[in-house]
A and B are shown apart, each in its own frame.
Chain A
Amino acid sequence: MHELSIAQSIIKIVTQDMPKHNLTKVDSITLRIGEITQIMPDALLFGFECLSKDTSLDGTKLIIETVPVKGHCKTCGQDFVFEDWPHGCPECGQTDIRIISGRELEIVEFEGS
């Protein structure tokens, strides 16, 4: 349910940045969202649609890039992508793993005129 707060933050960040670039209309906003974050893309899209209605972002498309969970095994030094986080290292089976990506919650770019 916190997708609504996330959508609100996206709208705030982009609308505050628009005047700096003399933009009046934004066609798309690209997000990078890590798989660990438990954000439901559909809920985020729906929340964004509801909150952006009648604002300068009404009709703006959200493009969501999902970032897979990557780990670094502290035992054997292997870096790998988790197919289903969490599980042990695919090389050595040990579970002492540092997460190196998958926690992202970022706006990467937006495009408009």
Chain B
Amino acid sequence: MRVHRSFGEVIEIKISLVKNILDANERIAAQNRQFFAGKGVMAINMMSAPGAGKTTLIEDTIRSLKNELNIAVIEGDIQSTYDAEAISATGAQVVQINTGGACHLDANMINETLSQLDFNPVDLLIIENVGNLVCPAEFNLGEYCKVMLLSISEGDDKPLKYPLMFYESSVLLINKIDLLPYVDCSIEKIRQESLKINPDLTIFEISCKTRQGLNDWHDWLKAERLITSNFKNKS
């Protein structure tokens, strides 16, 4: 703190703070992370542009893994309950968050829904973020990792246009690869440019329509789930 004193005048004070602007969000995200660890739940934050296929992939994942993983879902949308209804039809526990205009989920919104789910049987919590390639990347929710979807009809220029999301994600699912004959999109370009942004990114090419590549995604989920449950046993 530096104080500039001048006699008879107002004292001007300069205060050094150096504080993360999203500190409050980070604190609640840490609480959520601790909650999930205590319950032995692996939480993933699923992000993409609107219409990339998040809900369809989640429905399919729940049905495909129903004998192996108990999956619960938190649905984030600006408004409507379409997605929660679709998830509910699979028999999984689901809570809908309507952000009422906000373009992303934050840690507090997640914190407020935690009491609405019975986490005792749950292995995996999938948080479906609001469809948006920009804002959700900035807000940690307390997740184990971030997973993003990019459908090939969105174009292969997206990694360079929205690099933060690729930088923050651990997994990239390149979706709707069955459309490859009909769109001008190079999967190789998506791969190369995504890895330039984030060399540690795990990439899967999938289609929920033809089921291509989905086994690799399921194997990844099961393997990571084992790692996170080992964490719980160790602590």
Contacts and interface: CB of A to CB of B under 8 A. Distances in A.
Verify that A and B bind, or say they do not.
Answer: yes
B195 A38 contact: no
A21 B3 CA distance: 11
Main secondary structure of the interface of B (DSSP, over half): mixed
Interface in A51-105: 85-88, 95-97, 99, 105
Interface residues of A, number: 33
A45 interface: no
A108 B19 CA distance: 7
B223 interface: no
Interface in B1-56: 1, 10-25
B103 A109 contact: no
Contact of A38 (B14, B23, B134, B160): B134
Contacts of A23: 13, 15
B164 A111 contact: no
Given A2-B104, A21-B1, A109 B22 contact: no
A13 B19 contact: yes
B12 A111 contact: yes
Main secondary structure of the interface of A (DSSP, over half): mixed
Given A36-B164, A113-B11, A86 B21 contact: no
A37 B17 contact: no
Nearest to A1: B103
B167 interface: yes
Contacts of B102: 5
B16 A9 contact: no
A40 to B, nearest CB: 10
Given A36-B163, A97-B199, A109 B24 contact: no
B14 A109 contact: yes
A113 B15 contact: no
A113 B17 contact: no
B164 to A, nearest CB: 5
Contacts of B11: 113
A85 B164 CA distance: 10
Nearest to A95: B196
A50 B104 CA distance: 20
A5 B106 contact: yes
Contacts of A96: 199
A107 to B, nearest CB: 5
Interface string B132-150: 0011011100000000000
A111 B196 CA distance: 40
B57 interface: no
A1 B137 CA distance: 12
16 contacts: A9-B22, A12-B24, A27-B12, A31-B21, A38-B134, A86-B193, A95-B199, A96-B199, A107-B18, A108-B17, A108-B18, A110-B14, A111-B12, A111-B14, A113-B12, A113-B13
The 5 lowest CB-CB distance pairs between A and B, nearest first, are A2-B135, A113-B10, A1-B103, A86-B196, A111-B14
Given A9-B25, A112-B13, A113-B11, 17 more contacts: A2-B138, A5-B104, A5-B106, A9-B24, A17-B15, A37-B138, A37-B164, A38-B137, A38-B164, A105-B22, A105-B138, A107-B19, A108-B16, A110-B14, A111-B13, A111-B14, A112-B15
